[in-house]
Amino acid sequence: MFYKKTGYPEENEIVLCTIRKILPHGVFVSLDEYKDKEGLIHISEIAPGRIRNIRDFVKEGAKIICKVIKINLEKNHIDLSLRRVTQSQRINKNTAYKQEQKAEKILEVIAKNLNTNLEKIYEEVGKKLIENYGSLYDAFEQIREDQKILSSLRVNPEIEKSLLKLIQEKIKKREVEISATITVSSMLSNGVNIIKETLEKMKANNTAITYLGAPRYKFTLTSDNYKDAEKKLHELQSAAEKVIKGKGIFKLERND
């Protein structure tokens, strides 16, 4: 990535790192998203349990996802952990990094089309978007829904025109997903029909129900934003509960 953040990360922040040096009791890494910042992973933070050979877990040049556990500003020291990163955090960070790479490619195309360099495009528009929205990709998702954002930042008209065109072509419409496990059962003679009717009430546009094994089902709902998703989920759940009330059991447990 061309763009590097200045300053320090925050404690508990999930960061992308590159392993630079491996010692018997720790690993030195560079923080890929931060300018001139390095950190240390003590051997106790590499993996759970006792580690006999640290090189069984890490190697020079490898990219890893870490959690910031302590920062000493006076000593310019950053302590990191590899073992404290959950699988979902690792997946989310990798996804976000790939999205940011994709967003930066869009700026590279604009720079090439306008016969300039990427640094100038960042100065003109990239840094402004990151300061306001946290990342290029998040900014591009917002711009896809509201093109007036660029106008309010007073971006060069040529860059604005090219950027709007590429965002519409390359950035997909933002979606959020809610996942839950549904447990539904009925001991009545017509219980099968009651269960079917209950599950039918959970079906709508942008929803899916997958059989996990009686009496459990996986439910997913996608929407443009969390507010609408939560509202729709509540409506569907209420409708399903009315159908099965007094006839069986219905339970919905969120997975997110």
pLDDT tens, 105-148?
999 999 999 999 999 999 999 999 999 999 999 999 989 888 88
Residue 168's contacts (CB-CB under 8 Å, 6 or more residues apart) are 144
Cβ proximity of 214 and 223 under 8 Å? no
DSSP 9: P
Taking residues 87-107, report their average pLDDT: 93
pLDDT tens, 202-212?
998 889 999 99
The pLDDT confidence band at residue 256, using thresholds 50, 70 and 90, is low
Q: Indicate the residue type of 133.
A: Y
First to last CA, the chain: 30
The reported pLDDT for the residue numbered 244 is 96
The total number of residues shown for the chain amounts to: 256
DSSP 168: H
* Ramachandran category for residue 49: left, alpha or beta (phi over 0 → left; psi -120 to 50 → alpha): left
The pLDDT confidence band at residue 154, using thresholds 50, 70 and 90, is confident
Q: Is 80 helix (H, G, I), strand (E, B) or coil?
A: strand
Taking residues 18-42, report their average pLDDT: 96
Instruction: Answer yes or no: is pLDDT of 227 > 90.
Output: no
Q: What is the mean pLDDT of the chain?
A: 93
Does this model's pTM top 0.85?
no
Domains of the chain with bracketed CATH: 14-84 (2.40.50.140), 88-170 (1.10.150.190), 176-254 (3.30.70.1130)
Q: Is 171 helix (H, G, I), strand (E, B) or coil?
A: coil
CA dihedral 223, 228, 229, 235 (to 10 degrees): -130
Token pair recorded at residue 74: 């006076």
CA distance 120 to 20: 30
Give kind and range of the element (H or E) at residue 79.
strand 77-81
CA dihedral 96, 98, 102, 105 (to 10 degrees): 120
